[in-house]
Amino acid sequence: MRKPETIEKLYLDFDGFFASVMQQAFPDLRGRPVGVIPFETSAANSTVVIACSKEAKAAGCKNVMRVPEARALCPDIVLVTQRPDLFRRAHNALLNEIACEIPIETVKSIDELACKLDKLTIAAPSALAKRIKDRIRHNVGEYITCSIGFAANRLLAKIACKVDKPNGVTIWNPADMPGPLLALPLEDIPGVGKRIEERLSRAKILTIADLWHSQPKHLRALWGNVNGERMWYALHGYDIQATPTSRGMFGHGRVLPPEWRDPEHSLACSRLLLTKAARRMRRDGFYAGRLWLWLDIRGSTWFGQRQLHCVQDDHACLAALAALWEKARAEIPKRAEIIRVGVTLLDLSPANARQLDLLENDDGARQKCELITNTVDLLNRKFGKRVVTLGAWTQPPGGYAGGKIAFNRIPSAEDFW
């Protein structure tokens, strides 16, 4: 396993991305504490701040905080409704500017990316960081800033870029390690969540220094998989390549506004979410073998699943959803307050490796449903948005169902149709 002798990776993290994009787009928000909420509602206290600006963070607010708590910490906070399509367009514009200075190796999320350095950029990382920041400021806007970390591998560069936020640059040369790393709290290590931290605590690993001086096989045992061992080698500066991943599901969830928290409106929202998830699945060339419906109910939860015979058409997906809702209505209280609804298509098969059930023939009726669905997709792509839908298309208040604020997924333009 190779251990680089110099910095080789850049990791970039935009500062308060969603709130800063809103400040750049709307001058009235600049310099003010801003909290982004998922949908516009008259009962704002029933929702959460899903992202906040650096001014709000300075007052003690943080992402995913209930609105009453945020207002208690920062009475002047300005609540604005999310604009996912604006975030998507800002993301693409920012990537274009960065790519003019250095090729982007991996887009990790809507607000984080990694790059591989070449000989010229290894020699002058501070100059590269300045060029990137200047380009963003001049060509996109001065209210969108980023923090950049340089290190021997991606994990160390990611940790480094968080050290001097916002708008900082941190360079961790291998010769200086592990000193800067050991000064940080354990929770600053990506991949050390609450559950892993509890396991480490039971093993008397309470600091990054304890983690550093442990053994790779010991961490593998504590994690319960190879990721613990990979973590050890990455923290010690080895060139650890990311393991390839494959698509496991397509799904959408939605927090419902107070006036939509009954079974009828929840059903309508779930139909819309499932239709959008199935469209994404078809665009990416997959078939599904299972459908989940999950409901967050005041004081409890409910979920059900139904097997599918390797399908991708709307008719089959919506028929399975209707069967799940029939079961849900029989099992949940009649006046249940449904806070959140979600659908997930699982057990995916690539279109070129489709496996049909031996007893489920690919008959004419099924082929007809797939042909109709594909034709509807073509019409919607040609004429825009939802010129044709299968059944009612009822948008919940606030819009953006199926195209919500995305931390780990970059929405496409079609997600907002």
Which residues are the active-site residues?
112
DSSP state letters, 153-167? SHHHHHHHHTTT-SS
Tell me whether residue 43 is exposed, middle or buried, using C-beta atoms within 10 angstroms of its C-beta: 0 to 12, 13 to 18, 19 or more.
exposed
- C-alpha of 127 from chain center: 31
Long-range pairs of 96-104 with CB within 8 A, sequence gap ≥ 24: 97/132, 97/135, 97/136, 97/139, 97/140, 98/12, 98/132, 98/135, 98/136, 100/135, 101/128, 101/131, 101/132, 101/135, 102/10, 102/128, 102/132
CA angle 177, 183, 185 (to 5 degrees): 125
- DSSP E strands in 206-299: the ranges are 250-255, 286-297
Give the closest residue to 254 by CA, choosing from 281, 238, 229, 272.
272
Structure tokens at 342: 């979600």
Q: Quote the crossing angle between the two packed helices 263-283 and 364-383, to the nearest 10°.
A: 90
- Are 263 and 302 within 8 A, CB to CB? no
Q: How does DSSP classify residue 83? A: -
- Are 154 and 9 within 8 A, CB to CB? yes
Structure tokens at 290: 């299972």
Q: How does DSSP classify residue 375? A: H
- Are 186 and 219 within 8 A, CB to CB? no
C-beta atoms surrounding 193 within 10 Å: 10
